[in-house]
């Protein structure tokens, strides 16, 4: 895991149980935004599927 000067995670790398290497990069982090109340409210549709985390899940 890579962390920048502001302690934000900017990159994570790992290996799955099957030996597949996975890298995730986070760029252009902007914390100076005005988020309205309820912005993160999420009601998934009834047909939504749960996807396993590729860094932890077996393929």
- Number of continuous H segments (helices) and E segments (strands) in the chain: 0, 3
Question: Rounded to 5, what percent of the chain is helix, strand, coil?
Answer: 0, 25, 75
Please report which confidence band the pLDDT of residue 40 belongs to, taking 50, 70 and 90 as the band edges. confident
Give the mean pLDDT of 10-29.
Answer: 91
Give the mean pLDDT of 1-26.
Answer: 92
Q: How far apart are CA 42 and CA 34, in angstroms?
A: 18
With left for phi above 0 and alpha for psi between -120 and 50, is residue 20 left, alpha or beta?
A: beta
Q: Provide the whole-model pTM.
A: 0.55
Higher pLDDT, 29 or 25: 25
3-state secondary structure of 23: strand
Mean pLDDT of the chain: 88
Give the model's pLDDT for residue 58.
Answer: 58
């Amino acid at each position: 895991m890579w962390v920048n000067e502001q302690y934000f995670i900017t990159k994570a790398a790992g290996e799955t149980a099957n030996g597949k290497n996975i890298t995730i990069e986070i760029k252009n982090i902007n914390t100076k935004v005005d988020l309205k109340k309820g912005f993160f409210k999420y009601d998934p549709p009834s047909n939504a599927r749960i996807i396993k985390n590729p860094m932890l899940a077996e393929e």
